[in-house]
């Protein structure tokens, strides 16, 4: 049986694995849908399932003092986050986007220390450092110009904006999670996003379709609605109910690893040895950040180090 922290880590990891796949799903869906139409349909499908469930089974009273935080939550994510992410993915590769998203834990640590008075543990800081180095290895092909995927400044700036929005969202959600269930937060997010992106979809000059939707595009849309929205946000909000925001945010560094592996399978992108080394560093960083007790190096590694220095 998992204890509370184990469940929190499992929920955070599950959410980030799904979001890692969602970068590739979004790239596939954008071949048929315009950005705003894709976002509107994604959250409309999710809301059609969430709202009846919330009203009949999980409804709870919202306190007036929290309305401002709920508005901020909706504006930051899904609102501005997905607006920046989806637009950014039109101009930059999924790998580069995942590198920038990997900076979220750094922002969350700083915001958590400033607003939630969460202590910054040495192990958490070390874990973030390891994962950021791992992410740099992971997407080195995109950064050194050898990748055929374009990475213009506009796309990267949009993804950075998404990372900042996600960081603020994590802090706000951590505060609200102490008073509301994950289902409540997820439902409010989905309802806000549906209205927000539906209005934006009407402003698009086209019909919202780039081409007749393919089976792959429709499948990606359903994945984004039911998994990347319903399941992932519920899991993420559930983890924030148990763990400090800084520890939850570290798991976001799994997203680039999952994205690269999924892109290899779906988009036939290659995976180099440095990228594999980066994957190992990401997993090690997450392990260091979430491990209880003192940090101890494996005995075999210690013996190997002793041999090297003799």
Bridge partners of residue 33, in order along the sequence? 209
**Which has the higher per-residue pLDDT, 135 or 28?**
28
Cα–chain center distance at 265: 20
DSSP class of residue 66 equals: G
Bridge partners of residue 209, in order along the sequence? 33
Query: Of 263, 12, 20, 282, nearest to 138 (Cα)?
Result: 282
Query: Of 254, 252, 200, nearest to 43 (Cα)?
Result: 200
Residue 308 confidence (pLDDT) above 50:
no
pTM for this one? 0.69
pLDDT band for 220, please (50, 70, 90 cuts). Answer: very high
Mean pLDDT value across the chain:
76
Residue 232 confidence (pLDDT) above 60:
yes
Instruction: Give the pLDDT confidence of 234-291 residue by residue, as tens digits.
Output: 888 888 888 887 778 778 777 877 887 888 788 776 656 776 677 677 667 766 765 6
Both structure tokens of 169: 């969202």
Residue 2 confidence (pLDDT) above 70:
no
Query: Of 77, 40, 78, 92, nearest to 204 (Cα)?
Result: 40
pLDDT score, position 64: 80
pLDDT score, position 192: 85
pLDDT band for 310, please (50, 70, 90 cuts). Answer: very low
Instruction: Give the pLDDT confidence of 4-57 residue by residue, as tens digits.
Output: 678 888 888 899 899 889 988 998 898 888 888 898 999 999 899 888 887 777
pLDDT band for 79, please (50, 70, 90 cuts). Answer: confident
**Which has the higher per-residue pLDDT, 238 or 132?**
238
**Which has the higher per-residue pLDDT, 300 or 172?**
172
Residue 300 confidence (pLDDT) above 60:
no
pLDDT score, position 55: 78
| Half-sphere CA count of 189, side-chain side, radius 13 A | 34
pLDDT score, position 301: 35
CB 79 within 8 A of CB 193: yes
pLDDT score, position 291: 60
Residue 302 confidence (pLDDT) above 50:
no
Mean pLDDT of 106-119: 71
Location of structure tokens 């289902």: 183
pLDDT band for 307, please (50, 70, 90 cuts). Answer: very low
């Amino acid at each position: 049986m998992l204890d509370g922290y184990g469940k929190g880590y499992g929920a955070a990891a599950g959410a980030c694995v799904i979001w890692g796949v969602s970068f590739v799903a979004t790239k596939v869906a954008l071949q048929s849908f315009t950005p705003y139409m894709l976002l509107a349909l994604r959250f409309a499908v999710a809301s059609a399932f969430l709202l009846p469930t919330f009203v009949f089974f999980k409804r709870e009273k919202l306190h007036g003092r929290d309305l401002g935080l709920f508005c901020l939550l909706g504006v930051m994510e899904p609102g501005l986050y997905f607006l920046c992410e989806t637009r950014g993915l039109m101009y930059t590769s999924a790998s580069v986007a995942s590198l920038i998203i990997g900076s979220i834990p750094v922002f969350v640590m700083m915001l958590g220390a400033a607003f939630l008075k969460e202590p910054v543990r040495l192990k958490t800081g070390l874990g973030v450092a390891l994962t950021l180095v791992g992410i740099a290895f992971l997407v080195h092909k995109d950064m050194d110009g050898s990748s055929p995927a374009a990475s213009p400044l506009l796309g990267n700036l949009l993804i950075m904006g998404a990372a900042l929005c996600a960081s603020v969202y994590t802090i706000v959600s951590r505060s609200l999670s102490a008073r509301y269930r994950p289902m409540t937060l997820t439902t409010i997010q989905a309802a806000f996003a549906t209205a927000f992106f539906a209005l934006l979809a009407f402003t698009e000059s086209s019909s919202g379709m780039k081409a007749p939707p393919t089976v792959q595009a429709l499948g990606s849309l359903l994945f984004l609605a039911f998994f990347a929205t319903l399941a992932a946000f519920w899991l993420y909000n559930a983890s924030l109910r148990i763990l400090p925001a800084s520890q939850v945010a570290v798991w976001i560094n799994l997203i680039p690893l999952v994205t690269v592996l999924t892109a290899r399978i779906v988009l036939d992108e290659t995976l180099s040895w440095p990228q594999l080394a980066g994957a190992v560093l990401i997993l090690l960083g997450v392990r260091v950040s979430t491990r209880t007790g003192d940090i101890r190096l494996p005995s075999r590694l210690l013996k190997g180090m002793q041999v090297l220095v003799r």
